Amino acid sequence: MTPAARKVRQQLLVLSDAGTARTAARFFKPRSLPGDKFIGVRIPVMRKLVPEHRMLALKDVLSMLPANEHEVRVMAILLLVDRFKQGSTAEQRAVYQSYLGHTKYLNNWDFVDISAYHIVGPHLRERSRRPLYRLVKSQDMWERRIAIVATLAYIREHDFDDALALSELLLDDAEDLIHKPVGWMLREVGKRDLNTAEAFLKKHHRSMPRTALRYAIERFTIENKRKYMRTG
C-alpha cells in the first residue's frame, strides 16, 4: 500500500466501531471473504470521505484493493467509482481497465454491487458489449456477477436486451450468489416493463433457480407470485 493509501486506511481505522464490525462479520458469508477483517465503518460514512480523497492517484487507490480490512477495500472501490464518474474519457478507460485487471480483489457481492453498474456498464454503453459475454463465461464467480450487475446501467435506460441475454446464460449457474443478481436484474426489468419480464419468466420459470425466481417476482401481486412458484 502506498503512503497516500495508508493515510486513508488510518483515517478509516480512527472511524472504526467494534459493534458495527461484529455485525458486518456476521452478515457476510465467510466463504467469499477469505482473510477479510471488518473494522466497522459504514458505507454512508465512507461516501462522505470520497471528495476528500478524490485527488489520489489511481495507483494509490489500486494499492488499497489487496488490504486485509474489508472497509479499506470498499473505500478503494468507492474511489474508483467516483474517479470514473468525474473523469475524462481517457480517465474512464483507465479506471475500467484497472477494475477488470483487479477482479481477484472484487471477491464479494458488495464490492461488485456498488461498482459494476457504475463502471463496467457505463463504459460499454456506446461500445461493443462483448466483454460482458466474456465475463459471463468466466470460471470466476465474481466476474460472472460483474457481467450481470453491469446491465443495471442499461435497464435503467429501458434497454433490456443484454440483461435478458446474460440472465439466460446464467440460469444453469451453480452458484446462489449468481442466482440472486439474475433475479435482481429481472425484477428491475419488471419494474419498468412488466410484459418483458413476464415473457422471460413464462419461458424459463419452470427450470430457473428458485432463488432467482423469488427475487424476480418480489414485486408481483400475491396471486402472481403463487402462480409462478406453484408451477415452478
Task: Report pLDDT digits (tens) over 76-102.
Answer: 999 999 999 999 999 999 999 999 999
How many whole angstroms separate alpha carbon 92 and alpha carbon 80?
9
116: cell is: 459494476
pLDDT surpasses 60 at 42: yes
* Model pLDDT, residue 189: 98
Contact 95, 80 (CB under 8 A): yes
**Distant-in-sequence, close-in-space partners of 70: CB < 8 Å, separation ≥ 6:** 24, 28, 33, 36, 37, 38, 39, 108
How many whole angstroms separate alpha carbon 122 and alpha carbon 60?
23
* Model pLDDT, residue 160: 98
Q: How sure is the predictor about 229, in pLDDT bands with cuts at 50, 70 and 90?
A: confident
Q: For the stretch 179-191, what's the b/e string if a residue is b when 16 or more beta carbons lie within 10 angstroms of its beta carbon?
A: bbbbbbbbbbbbe
221: cell is: 401481486
Instruction: Tell me the CA distances in angstroms from 200 to 13, 137, 160, 170, one per residue in order.
Output: 46, 21, 11, 13
How many whole angstroms separate alpha carbon 60 and alpha carbon 180?
33
CA-based nearest residue to 73, from 26, 41, 113, 105: 105
**Once rounded to an integer, what is the mean pLDDT over residues 197-208?**
94
Coil, strand, or helix at residue 216? helix
Question: Please, what is the average pLDDT of the chain?
Answer: 94
Backbone angles phi, psi at 37, to 5 degrees: -115, 135
CA-based nearest residue to 188, from 214, 228, 156, 157: 156
Percentage of residues in the chain with pLDDT exceeding 70? 97
How many whole angstroms separate alpha carbon 121 and alpha carbon 102?
17
